């Protein structure tokens, strides 16, 4: 009897073959790669035994480049060509880079020549380099490290991104992976990856908060862990808050105390590096000297931990405000959270750990290395997606950070996929035409929490053409939003009767400001009542317009049915509605619309009688 070699669903076709899949934490300050070996996730070291790779790339005049520790050592000497913290520029336009004047780089607009829309680039001796290119250098270095470790080609990688990364930043990360020659298995959110590592390591179950303060971004996620199912209930954060901001605040405070200013690229880089070293030293000691070479002179200034905490108190408060919003979104009280996982090197700061402990009333979990935990969780997910045998089944339920919808008449937003919706997901909603004989429909895809399009972010526009001409409201157009496991969006529109269809993969522009996502949510809470009022006015105006168009069409077709007095009454009602239509009083517009509808009821009945008479003309009972 011949033996058939049949693999289990999702497993490698050859049971003796193991696909090499890794998890990569592409971080603002450091990056690292991890893989599951002998059933355990572990970070992969370089030839010197170091698992952390500084996220720094230096471009040389000869066309070469240095990556990691060698590049980091040259930050002060060659600040302009040594790019650090490039993750903060991913998917960002020239006008969106926070503290651009305090950074030692020469920023230029994107290739499309529009700084507001094109992704920012950095001028170096090797030419202009985009954040995607710089990130690709870091990813390629980690890829080579993994391939050297296993002495085999890499099958694929799971790369982590902050939960609050928008579509533009996620797309930029995917582009960087492709440029580095990496088969991307999935993008997953950093807090979710950390929860995977903790859940499998500690066999934890229940509701957990993941507080992730990295070098460039802050995320807070509320997750429910149940028997291998990781469900993200709510997510929040601040994409413009990280360890770099603590460094900048400390540097500004010290320079202010000394009455000095960093002007040259070398000065800016030296001050930034000195502030970071001072911050890290203050984690273990109460006082440390701030040492930097500024304007050709050595600067020494003693900094106490209390000074540092006072200078950065507003940053810590910003993170805790995001924590409160995430709990409110999850509809949970703080005492319902069983544990808090700390992720990111910046969570080592004593004031951060103290703020989290005071808020939740329990000490946070710190038994896994906060620098490594994200990569370890990503490695577990990569191992499963590659079809290798895993210790247990793992189901990952992530969410999108902001609502998605389309523009409807009057500039209103119709939400189709709500924020904190589990992904991957597909949602559909039916719409119709506004005018008689309409054969095309313009679809505007937007992202945000506000009710008016002008207050949300535009993602894409496309048109559905070839709709058969019909009366207004007769067409049935189904708009479907599909969000994949990476959090990226595609939209399709289909007219149900004729089958005509159009679709678009949303590839957003790279021009969203660093704090826009957080501001969208804050605006959504702060202006809810105002938005409801504005929406009511717009809806009342749309209904008024429809009533006026329909009434005018009826008068043009069958106005002869009316007596002069009846016509005058209807005209007066239309004039009154047109006069009120542009007011900001929804109730008065609705009342005028209702008055016109009531005033034309008799006319509508006369038109119906005429239609019936015309339909029956020349027919006898037997024919009918």
Catalogue the active-site residues: 25, 87, 190, 212
Q: What is the spatial distance between Cα 615 and Cα 522, in angstroms, rounded to a whole number?
A: 59
Q: Tokens standing for 130? A: 């985009």
| 25, 41, 47, 149, 167 from 38: Cα distances, Å | 21, 8, 21, 14, 36
The enclosing H or E element of 118 equals none
Measured distance CA(312)–CA(322) in Å, rounded: 16
Widest CA span in the chain: 110
Task: Supply 389's token pair.
Answer: 């045998």
Among 142, 184, 128, residue whose Cα is nearest residue 161: 184
User: Do 520 and 505 meet the contact criterion of CB atoms below 8 Å apart?
Assistant: no
* Alpha carbons 187 and 179: distance in angstroms, whole number: 15
DSSP conformation letters of 4-72: P--PPTTS-SSTT----EEEEE--SSEEEEEEEETTEEEEPP-TTS---EESEEEE-TTS-EEETHHHH
DSSP class of 390 = -
| DSSP structure string for 454-491 | GGSEEEEEEEEE-PPP--TTT--EEEEEEE-TTS-EEE
Any bridge partners for residue 30, and if so which? 54
Cβ(240)–Cβ(231) under 8 Å?
no
CB-hemisphere CA count at 13 Å for 576?
17
3-state secondary structure of 564: helix
Pairing of strands 82-84, 56-59: antiparallel
The C-alpha atoms of residue 130 and residue 140 are separated, in whole angstroms, by 16
Q: Which of 248, 236, 241, 300 minimizes the C-alpha distance to 279?
A: 248
d(CA 94, CA 84): 17
Instruction: Please provide the distance, in angstroms rounded to a whole number, between the alpha carbons at the two ends of the chain.
Output: 75
What six digits make up the tokens of 525?
A: 């809470």
Cα 142 to Cα 52: distance, rounded to the nearest angstrom = 10
Distance CA 311, CA 304 (A): 11
- As given in the structure block, the two tokens for residue 273 are 């590096």
Q: Which one, of 346, 282, 272, lies nearest residue 310 by Cα?
A: 282
């Amino acid at each position: 009897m011949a033996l058939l070699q049949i693999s289990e669903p999702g497993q490698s076709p050859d049971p003796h073959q193991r696909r090499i899949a890794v998890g990569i934490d592409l971080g603002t300050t450091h990056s690292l790669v991890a893989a599951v070996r002998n059933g355990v996730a572990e970070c992969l070291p370089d030839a010197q035994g170091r698992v952390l790779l500084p996220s720094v790339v230096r471009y040389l005049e000869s066309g070469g480049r240095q990556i990691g520790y060698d590049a980091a050592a040259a930050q002060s000497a060659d600040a302009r060509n040594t790019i650090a913290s490039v993750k903060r520029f991913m998917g960002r336009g020239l006008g969106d880079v926070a503290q651009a004047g305090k950074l030692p780089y020469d920023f230029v607009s994107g290739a499309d020549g529009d700084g507001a829309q094109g992704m920012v680039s950095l001028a170096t001796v090797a030419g202009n380099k985009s954040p995607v290119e710089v990130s690709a250098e870091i990813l390629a270095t980690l890829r080579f490290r993994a391939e050297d470790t296993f002495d085999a080609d890499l099958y694929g990688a799971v790369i982590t991104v902050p939960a609050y990364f928008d579509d533009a930043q996620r797309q930029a990360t995917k582009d960087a992976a492709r440029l580095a020659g990496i088969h991307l298995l999935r993008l997953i959110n950093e807090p979710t990856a950390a929860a995977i590592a903790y859940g499998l390591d500690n066999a934890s179950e229940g509701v957990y908060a993941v507080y992730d303060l990295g070098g460039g971004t802050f995320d807070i996620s509320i997750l429910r862990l149940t028997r291998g199912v990781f469900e993200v209930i709510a997510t929040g954060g601040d994409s413009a808050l990280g360890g770099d901001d603590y460094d900048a605040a400390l540097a500004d405070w010290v320079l202010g105390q000394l009455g000095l200013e960093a002007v040259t690229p070398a000065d800016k880089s030296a001050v930034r590096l000195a502030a970071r070293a001072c911050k890290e030293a203050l984690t273990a000691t109460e006082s440390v000297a701030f040492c930097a070479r500024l304007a050709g002179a050595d600067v020494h200034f003693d900094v106490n931990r209390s000074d540092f905490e006072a200078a950065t108190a507003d940053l810590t408060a910003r993170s805790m405000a995001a924590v409160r919003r995430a709990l409110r979104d999850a509809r949970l009280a703080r005492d319902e959270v069983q544990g808090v996982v700390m992720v990111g090197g910046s969570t080592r700061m004593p004031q951060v750990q103290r703020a989290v402990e005071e808020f939740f009333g329990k000490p946070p979990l710190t038994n896994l290395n906060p620098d490594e935990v994200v990569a370890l969780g990503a490695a577990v997910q990569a191992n499963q997606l590659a079809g290798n045998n895993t210790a247990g089944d793992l189901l990952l339920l992530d969410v999108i950070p902001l609502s998605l919808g389309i523009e409807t008449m009057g500039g209103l937003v119709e939400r189709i996929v709500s924020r904190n919706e589990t992904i991957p997901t597909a949602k559909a909603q039916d719409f119709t035409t506004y005018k008689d004989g309409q054969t095309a429909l313009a679809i505007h895809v937007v992202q945000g929490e506000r009710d008016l399009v002008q207050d949300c972010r535009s993602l894409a526009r496309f048109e559905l053409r070839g709709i058969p001409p019909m009366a207004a409201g007769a067409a049935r157009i189904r708009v479907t939003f599909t969000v994949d496991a990476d959090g990226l969006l595609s939209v399709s529109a289909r007219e149900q009767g004729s089958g005509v269809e159009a679709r678009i993969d949303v590839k957003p522009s790279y021009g969203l400001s660093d704090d826009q996502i957080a501001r969208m949510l804050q605006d959504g809470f702060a202006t809810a009542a105002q938005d409801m009022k504005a929406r009511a006015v717009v809806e009342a105006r749309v209904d008024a317009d429809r009533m006026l168009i329909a009434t005018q069409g009826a008068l043009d077709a069958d106005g002869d049915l009316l007596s002069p007095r009846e016509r005058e009454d209807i005209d007066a009602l239309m004039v009154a509605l047109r006069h009120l239509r542009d007011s900001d009083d929804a109730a008065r517009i609705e009342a005028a619309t209702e008055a016109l509808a009531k005033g034309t009821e008799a006319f509508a009945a006369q038109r119906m009688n005429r239609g019936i008479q015309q339909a029956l003309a020349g027919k006898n009972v037997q024919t009918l």
